Amino acid sequence: MNIDGRFWLTKDNQNFLGDGRVELLHKIEKTGSINAAAKEMKMSYKAAWERINSMNALADEPLIQRKIGGSGGGGTTLTPYAYELIKTYERLHELHRQFIDRFAEAGDDPERLARILSRTFLTTSARNQIPTTIKKITQHGLYVTIEMSISEKNFLRSTITKKSAENMGLSTGSEIYAIIKSSDILIQSEAPKAIEGINILKGTIKSIERSDEFAELSFNVDNKTNLIAFLDKEKVNSFEIGTEAYAIISTKNIIIGS
């Protein structure tokens, strides 16, 4: 038995934004055409237009705008309001996913679910707070290496002092959080060599948000785990949304929370 939950934003008791509608907006952004976006999503133009009309009817401002003529021959683009709406939806969706993941940790054990819900949600400045379970603890003198699974194929290692592990009562099977500052994650397109003390995760670029000097990059490791990295703008110029990349994180830069 699994715990699951669908995420929708509603307005005036009507469905406003969901995964399919946001995907349609992304396709329009990519193709510059409602018709082309509909084809990519394997739906009719009529169905796509009805979705757009439904969203526009509930939105405070229009979500699309038409360009007529010009060197590109016209087309359809998203309005600034639509971009802000998508950003808000995706952030809320991510928080909802994290909430459901905490429920899913309990499986079909109500008592375990009660313990999970009784935990205090962490409040830190770190953007990445990943719920995980300790699989192995290895001692190295005054330090220990904590190995944590974040999916069936991916794991992280953190190096902390032996005393800290003892004070927290950590052991194999402990449910903890891997806490990582966004500035402590390096993203690169080439596969790095395996180095002791370094975590390497393969994933996909999900989104890029640029400012004058910096860029915030969302990195999708698997269906359950997204990382936020904060990089110099120049370092992400070669990245495109949807391309494969590698996240590099020092074991010393992963804080353990419980």
Return d(Cα 28, Cα 200) in angstroms, integer.
34
The verdict on 80 and 178 lying in the same domain is no
Q: 110 in a domain, yes or no?
A: no
The answer to whether residue 107 sits within a structural domain is no
Assess whether 88 and 128 both reside in one domain.
no
* pLDDT of res. 80: 92
Per the structure, how many domains does the chain have? 2
Asked if residue 18 is part of any domain, the answer here is yes
Looking at 97, 130, 153, which one is the last position of a domain?
Answer: 97
Mean pLDDT of 134-140: 93
Top mean-pLDDT range of 116-120, 151-155, 202-206, 232-236: 202-206
pLDDT tens profile 147-162: 998 887 889 999 999 9
Using CA atoms in the order 27, 32, 36, 38, what is the torsion angle rounded to 10 degrees? 40
pLDDT category of residue 67 using cuts at 50, 70 and 90: confident
Does 169 lie in the same domain as 86? no
Residues 76 and 149 in one domain: no
Same-domain check for residues 72 and 197: no
Q: What angle do CA 145, 151, 152 make, to 5 degrees?
A: 100
| CA angle (101, 120, 150) in 5-degree steps | 35
| Model confidence, pTM | 0.55
Same domain assignment for residues 85 and 13: yes
Q: What 3-state class would DSSP assign to 90?
A: helix
**Contacts of 91 by beta carbon, 8 Å cutoff, 6+ apart:** none
Both 57 and 182 in one domain: the answer is: no
Query: For residues 246 and 192, is the Cβ–Cβ distance under 8 A?
Result: yes
Q: Is the domain of 142 the same as that of 209?
A: yes
Longest dimension (CA), the chain: 71
Q: What is the mean pLDDT of residues 21-36?
A: 93
| Same domain membership, residue 248 and residue 185 | yes
Average pLDDT over the chain, rounded to whole? Answer: 86
Domain that holds residue 32: 9-97
Same domain, 153 and 75: no
d(CA 149, CA 12): 42
CA–CA separation, 249 and 247 (whole Å) = 7
Binned at pLDDT 50, 70 and 90, residue 36 comes out as: very high
Please state the φ and ψ torsions of residue 2, each to the nearest 5 degrees.
Answer: -120, 150
Q: Which 8-state DSSP code applies to residue 230?
A: E
- Statement: residue 120 has pLDDT above 60: no
CA nearest neighbour of 26 among 37, 15, 14:
37
Q: What is the mean pLDDT of residues 217-237?
A: 84
Q: How confident is the model at residue 186 (pLDDT cuts 50, 70, 90)?
A: very high
